């Protein structure tokens, strides 16, 4: 019986799906007259990675009303999930071999600020389901990441857990959950305060 857990962020920690997300969102927003001439850039997307989905759409489309933002968000997420499941993203080197190694000793879970179905798209696109014991999307319950980490810990009866992520938001969420934070330095964000640091995903083998 595994008694310890390693929880993961997704974007900037296990994969980079920026280009695929950008492609899918640019397909989706063309359905709206207000955005038919808009083209979302990779830089714009990277600047909002890790934020809750409602905050992302608010930052990307401040000119739209709140109701319209949510309408655009729903459509973008629907198109994105299908697109990612079909096309996948860029996995960081040695991801699967590292997950295989860690899964022998630890409960592995993914906690993401993505929409409902986002983590499933990642798992299905790359056939990684056998390595993960549980997942939690922000879009499933719209609860902040720190609280969702605690929720997944309780759900799996785990107290000895670390969270692996790449942004200050991830670090703050681990602090809220009362667990150590492993900073994925290769990701999208910059973090000054952390308990452990990895320069590449496979460094987790050395830590654990």
**CA 111 – CA 62 distance, rounded (Å):** 27
Structure tokens at 46: 């990277």
Q: Do 94 and 193 fall into the same domain?
A: yes
Q: Do 10 and 34 fall into the same domain?
A: no
Domain-ending residue, one of 72, 87, 102: 87
Residue 175's pLDDT is 98
Q: Do 54 and 31 fall into the same domain?
A: yes
What domain range includes position 108? 4-16+89-207
Residue 40's pLDDT is 96
Domain-ending residue, one of 70, 87, 104: 87
**CA 64 – CA 95 distance, rounded (Å):** 39
Taking CA atoms, 132 is separated from 22, 45, 68, 71, 125, in Å, by 27, 27, 35, 32, 14
Distance of CA 128 to the CA centre of its chain: 15
Q: Do 94 and 179 fall into the same domain?
A: yes
Q: Do 74 and 124 fall into the same domain?
A: no
Q: Please report, for the domain that includes residue 105, its CATH number.
A: 3.40.50.1000
Q: Do 101 and 199 fall into the same domain?
A: yes
Residue 202's pLDDT is 98
Domain total in the chain: 2
pTM to 2 decimal places: 0.92
**CA 111 – CA 119 distance, rounded (Å):** 8
Q: Do 69 and 132 fall into the same domain?
A: no
Residue 48's pLDDT is 87
**CA 52 – CA 45 distance, rounded (Å):** 13
Structure tokens at 28: 């989706």
Q: Do 82 and 101 fall into the same domain?
A: no
Answer whether 181's CB lies under 8 Å from 162's CB: yes
**Tens digit of pLDDT per residue, the chain (208 long)?**
789 999 999 999 999 999 999 999 999 999 999 999 999 998 898 888 778 888 999 999 999 999 999 999 999 999 999 999 999 999 999 999 999 999 999 999 999 999 999 999 999 999 999 999 999 999 999 999 999 999 999 999 999 999 999 999 999 999 999 999 999 999 999 999 999 999 999 999 999 9
Backbone dihedral angles phi then psi of residue 4, each to the nearest 5 degrees:
-120, 150
Rg (CA), the chain: 17
What 3-state class would DSSP assign to 98?
Answer: helix
Answer whether 189's CB lies under 8 Å from 12's CB: yes
Q: Do 142 and 83 fall into the same domain?
A: no
Domain-ending residue, one of 35, 65, 87: 87
Residue 1's pLDDT is 72
Answer whether 6's CB lies under 8 Å from 105's CB: no
């Amino acid at each position: 019986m595994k008694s310890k857990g390693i929880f993961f962020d997704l974007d900037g920690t296990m994969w980079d799906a920026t280009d695929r997300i950008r492609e899918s969102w640019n397909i989706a927003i063309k359905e709206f007259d207000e955005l038919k001439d808009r083209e979302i850039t990779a830089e714009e997307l990277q600047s909002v990675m890790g934020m809750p989905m409602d905050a992302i759409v608010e930052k990307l489309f401040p000119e739209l009303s709140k109701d319209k933002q949510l309408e655009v968000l729903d459509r973008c997420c629907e198109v994105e999930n299908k697109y990612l499941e079909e096309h996948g993203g860029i996995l960081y080197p040695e991801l699967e071999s590292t997950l295989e190694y860690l899964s022998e000793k630890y409960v592995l879970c993914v906690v993401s600020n993505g929409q409902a179905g986002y983590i499933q798209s990642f798992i299905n696109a790359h056939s990684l389901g056998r390595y993960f014991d549980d997942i939690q999307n922000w879009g499933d319950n719209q609860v902040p990441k720190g609280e969702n980490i605690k929720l997944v810990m309780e759900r799996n009866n785990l107290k000895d857990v670390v969270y692996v992520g790449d942004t200050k938001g991830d670090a703050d969420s681990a602090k809220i959950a009362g667990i150590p934070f492993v900073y994925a330095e290769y990701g999208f964000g910059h973090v000054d305060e952390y308990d452990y640091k990895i320069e590449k995903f496979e460094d987790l083998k050395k830590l654990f």
